[in-house]
Amino acid sequence: MEADDELIQEIYSKGDEESSPSRNRPIISVEQLDIEAYVSLYQGRTKITRLMFIAEHCCDNASMQLEALRMAYDEIKKGEDTQLFREVLQKIDGRLGPNYTMDVAWCDSVDRKAEQRKKKLETELNAYKTNLIKESIRMGYNDFGDFYYAHGALGDAFKSYFRARDYCTTSKHIIQMHMRAILVSIETGQFTHLTSYVSKAEQKPEALEPVTVEKLRCAAGLAHLKAKKYDLAARKFLEVGPDLGSSYNEVIASQDVATYGGLCALASFDRAELKACVLLLFFPTMIIVFNFLELVPEVRELINDFYSCHYGSCLDYLGNLKANLLLDIHLHDHVETLYDQIRNKALIQYTHPFVSVDLQIMANVFKTSIAGLEKELETLITDNQIQARIDSHNKILYARHPDQKNATFQRVLQTGNEFDQEVRAMLLRANLLRTEGNR
């Protein structure tokens, strides 16, 4: 009841969000993704794959699509993946002018050097195997893995990294092997066994550096996110500490940790967990989470608004973020589900403390029609997430609170029955013991 009183006070203290002076601060608008600023957070293959993902998913915005493809073209030419270069050229299809066409000389030069490099690596590895030098063989397989990875042969890269496993002689070598396997698994979207690799790396805590611990937490968070285990994903992302910095930007940026962790927590945590783990009111040791949220003010504000019962403002932030989140390579498949769960939680939290709720007022708060609100509430009532009934004529929601008097009576009756059974059992045991003694 104390929690309900607190929630009621917060809801009423805000009143109508549209008319409250404290809510007149502007909502941060996110109209169009600044592609250059966004991809500057990353490096390596993920920078290119994110650019190509953006190009594929913003077909209704030709300028944005071409900008992403232009940047992908320039970035690929800094590396050695000619196959990816040809894929980008096919998508550009001559739309960027003569400066972004097929560069035959570059492709031939890269392919020729790659063939020479591969032959050299094969010769060296065969020599290492002949001499049975385990450390050299391990490094030879790793070099082969790095070679394949740079040229986009991710399957071959994965095999080479794992072939080095039999030649690892220290815990540090095993961790390095698993970190490479994790990187390739994320790049190829193979998240099924990712948690297994993370777990195996964590079994060598004596060899784990602080930054490696944070990388493993990020990888585990991505695996849980992919599996739609949002509660576990949130907990992993919230555990990530400041040692991460920009050290894992070939996979994930600190801003992503804040966004993924914040949204997953909002969708899956109850009110007490949100307060304890995200808003830093109970455990000041979690201040690192707050620091990450500072990197994404919109996520920080929408979480604060949700907890403070400013649902209209919270939903505005979510609405402004949605278009950009749909262009995130890891989050796009989960945006609709997360948004639905967050909205349902807001509806449940709004109705929980009240005996009755005016649907017109509630519809204004959630910026929807009464008919639309009724459908949402009907679904939640059917799923037993809200114990209530709807008066469609008067547009009022009535809560179905349990009969406390009857529940207390039932508990007393049950306790009496249990006591009666215990007394009878004690008397029976006493009679048995007395009979045994008389014999």
Residue 5 buriedness (CB in 10 A; 0-12 / 13-18 / 19+): exposed
**CA–CA distance, 153 with 159 (Å, rounded to integer):** 10
| Residue 258, token pair as written in the block | 């804040």
CATH of domain 354-401: 1.10.10.10
Which residue numbers in the chain have pLDDT < 50?
A: 1-5, 7-30, 281-290
**CA–CA distance, 147 with 337 (Å, rounded to integer):** 39
CA dihedral 310, 311, 316, 317 (to 10 degrees): 70
Task: Specify the length of the chain in residues.
Answer: 439
Q: Facing residues of 300 across strands?
A: none
The predicted structure's pLDDT at residue 67:
93
Give kind and range of the element (H or E) at residue 356.
strand 356-358
- Contact predicate 397/388, CB 8 Å: yes
DSSP 8-state secondary structure symbol assigned to residue 107: H
Per the prediction, the chain carries an average pLDDT of 84
The predicted structure's pLDDT at residue 352:
82
- Contact predicate 177/161, CB 8 Å: yes
Among 360, 379, 380, residue whose Cα is nearest residue 370:
360
The predicted structure's pLDDT at residue 402:
59
Q: Which residues, including other chains, have CB under 8 Å from residue 185's CB and lie 6 or more apart?
A: 158, 191, 193, 194, 197
Residue type, 160: S
Q: What is the pTM of this model?
A: 0.80
**CA–CA distance, 153 with 151 (Å, rounded to integer):** 6
The predicted structure's pLDDT at residue 403:
58
Residue type, 124: E
Q: Facing residues of 389 across strands?
A: 398
The predicted structure's pLDDT at residue 24:
38
